[in-house]
Amino acid sequence: MSGEHLEKRGLHATLDDAQVAGKRVLLRADLNVPVHEGKVSDLTRLERLAPGIRELSDKGAKVIVLSHFDRPKGKRVEALSLRPIARALSAVLGREVAFAEDCIGPVAEAAVAKLHDGDVLVLENTRFHAGEEENNPDFSAALAKLGDIYVNDAFSAAHRAHASTEGVARHLPSFAGRLMQAELHALEQALGNPVRPVCAIVAGSKVSTKLDLLNNLVTKVDILVIGGAMANTFLAAQGYDVGISLQEPNLHETARTILKAAAAKGCEILLPLDVVVAETFAPDTPSKVVKITEIPHNAMALDVGPETVAAFIRRLPEIRTIIWNGPLGAFETKPFDTATNMLAEAIAQATKEGKIISVGGGGDTVSALKLSGAHDHLTYLSSAGGAFLEWMEGKILPGVEALSKGFSNMG
Ligand code: ADP
Ligand code: MG
């Protein structure tokens, strides 16, 4: 394997670099899927995982799937077993999936020993052992013993330095799985090395949860659009009366510092020009559009207004790359999803026409974009939640870093 080859992919060996036939492949997946009354209620994550598993299996690997599920806190909790999820995975794959009631030790070893080339096995919840979250070296070694190579396909868990995401990569030749590869590629395109001008849209409820993210973005993007309740804090910091809107008075100084940092870096900040206000926060409550200079004392801003959205959309033709985190309004309650939907539609259209690269992510952002119907038309929509946000903050994700170190194990 040539160094140059790896460098092109941002230093992560991928499945293209791996010889997997006849090998025991320890595949870290994210099987932490939503479950309702013992049934997987959203198959999206499993469906996205399936092609990578099929590829390994078709190439003759013995696929051994590792994952955490929920928070059993280092103890065996029957209700948090991965068994029903292994069954759902089997249905999605359309192939048999074996299950082992432990992820290390004799039970796991016996299950692995029974595998034929192409077989798929899911091991029990890694978090049933305290060593997982402690990143205990003995536990990592016990996991590593089960495989010949390690493939991490769980970007969404890569912000945790746990045994199955980080420790195990110290023992085995390590590769990025197909989902990890796609995610890293999209993130690199959006922020690592974007086609400029690049615009970030940051919105949502609080400045306080996104301080690191805002501080990182002002150094990286050309245009920063701020919406959501977060924009209320910025408006109030600039002296506007935001009535009873959700905002953070103790962060006004911080907001002003961010605005100054942006100006110093040549990052243009776009704040709302108008907002949709209501006196109460309820579905279909009477609401009206006002300019930001005219927010009534007894009203709250629950969405950005049409003039603001139109102003954002007018800037789209000059933008080449967009990265989006945070709904522009309280989208869960109609009609305060309007601005988010309108902007999502415009971005989806520009993406379809090949004019921009668009990447979105964040728990509520994914829900909002799904509701808007635009999610399928973005270049990439990350379902990684916390890992996506930490990556937007400019942090090095231990699970990703471990992969770039991991190929030194290939000797
Ligand atoms: P993500 O999970 O995508 O990172 P956040 O959690 O930061 O996004 O923000 C989403 C939340 O912000 C949503 O629950 C939404 O209702 C809320 N929100 C956005 N704008 C407003 C607003 N003007 N007033 C109150 N809540 C808002
Ligand atoms: Mg959220």
> Which CATH number covers residue 130?
3.40.50.1260
Same domain, 276 and 372: yes
What is the 226 CA–ligand 2 centroid distance (Å)?
Answer: 16
Before 249, cis peptide (omega within 30)?
no
Say what the pLDDT of residue 12 is.
80
Distances (CA, A) of 17 to 22, 165, 178, 320: 15, 20, 12, 31
Q: Do the beta carbons of residue 292 and residue 273 sit within 8 Å?
A: yes
Residues whose beta carbon lies within 6 Å of some atom of ligand 1? 204-205, 209, 228-229, 246, 301-302, 325-327, 329-332, 362-365
- pLDDT tens digits along 332-350: 999 999 999 999 999 999 9
Say what the pLDDT of residue 38 is.
82
**From the alpha carbon of 231, which atom of ligand 1 is closest?**
23
Check if 9 is active-site. no
Identify the domain containing residue 289 by its residue range. Answer: 194-378
- pLDDT tens digits along 51-91: 999 999 999 999 999 999 999 999 999 999 999 999 999 99
Nearest to 122, CA basis, from 21, 34, 50, 17: 50
**Percent above pLDDT 70 for the chain:** 96
Q: Do the beta carbons of residue 403 and residue 150 sit within 8 Å?
A: no
* Residue 329 located in a structural domain: yes
**Model confidence at 6: pLDDT above 60:** no
Same domain, 217 and 345: yes
Q: Retrieve residue 286's tokens.
A: 């009477």
To test the pocket of ligand 1, the residue of 156, 159, 205, 242 to mutate (highest count of ligand atoms within 8 Å of its CB) is 205
The amino acid occupying position 306 is P
**From the alpha carbon of 362, which atom of ligand 1 is closest?**
3
* Residue 158 located in a structural domain: yes
What is the arithmetic mean of pLDDT over 350-362?
97
Say what the pLDDT of residue 321 is.
97
What is the 205 CA–ligand 1 centroid distance (Å)?
Answer: 4
Say what the pLDDT of residue 8 is.
42
* Residue 280 located in a structural domain: yes
What is the 274 CA–ligand 2 centroid distance (Å)?
Answer: 24
Check if 386 is active-site. yes
**Model confidence at 407: pLDDT above 60:** no
Closest residue by Cα to atom 26, ligand 1, is 330
- pLDDT tens digits along 138-181: 999 999 999 999 999 999 999 999 999 999 999 999 999 999 99
- pLDDT tens digits along 298-334: 999 999 999 999 999 999 999 999 999 999 999 999 9
Handedness of CA 324, 326, 329, 332 (dihedral sign): positive
Same domain, 215 and 111: no
Confidence of residue 37 (pLDDT cuts 50, 70, 90): confident
Q: Retrieve residue 207's tokens.
A: 């400045």
Same domain, 77 and 140: yes
Confidence of residue 3 (pLDDT cuts 50, 70, 90): very low
Catalytic residue among 10, 74, 363, 394: 363
Catalytic residue among 24, 45, 170, 178: 45
Comparing 6-10, 163-167, 261-265, which segment has the lowest mean pLDDT? 6-10
* Residue 384 located in a structural domain: no
| CA–CA gap between residue 383 and residue 395 (Å, rounded) | 18
- pLDDT tens digits along 366-376: 999 999 999 99
Same domain, 90 and 115: yes
Catalytic residue among 87, 206, 220, 320: 206
Confidence of residue 7 (pLDDT cuts 50, 70, 90): very low
**Model confidence at 268: pLDDT above 70:** yes
* Residue 383 located in a structural domain: no
Q: For the whole model, what pTM was predicted?
A: 0.91
101 in the Ramachandran plot: left (φ > 0), alpha (ψ -120 to 50) or beta?
alpha
To test the pocket of ligand 1, the residue of 214, 244, 364 to mutate (highest count of ligand atoms within 8 Å of its CB) is 364
Same domain, 150 and 10: yes
Say what the pLDDT of residue 383 is.
86
* Residue 387 located in a structural domain: no
What is the arithmetic mean of pLDDT over 387-411?
82
* Residue 362 located in a structural domain: yes
Say what the pLDDT of residue 11 is.
63
Say what the pLDDT of residue 1 is.
39
Check if 363 is active-site. yes
- Burial of 284 per CB tally in 10 Å (0-12, 13-18, 19+): exposed
**From the alpha carbon of 301, which atom of ligand 1 is closest?**
23
Comparing 54-58, 268-272, 279-283, which segment has the lowest mean pLDDT? 279-283
- Burial of 273 per CB tally in 10 Å (0-12, 13-18, 19+): middle
All residues at 6 or more sequence positions from 243 whose CB lies less than 8 Å from its CB, including other chains: 277, 295, 296, 297, 298, 299, 300, 301
What is the 281 CA–ligand 1 centroid distance (Å)?
Answer: 13
Same domain, 169 and 306: no
Same domain, 107 and 242: no
Domain count, the chain: 2
The radius of gyration of the chain's CA atoms, rounded to the nearest angstrom, is 23
Query: Whose atoms come closest to the Cα of 385: which ligand?
Result: 1
* Residue 252 located in a structural domain: yes
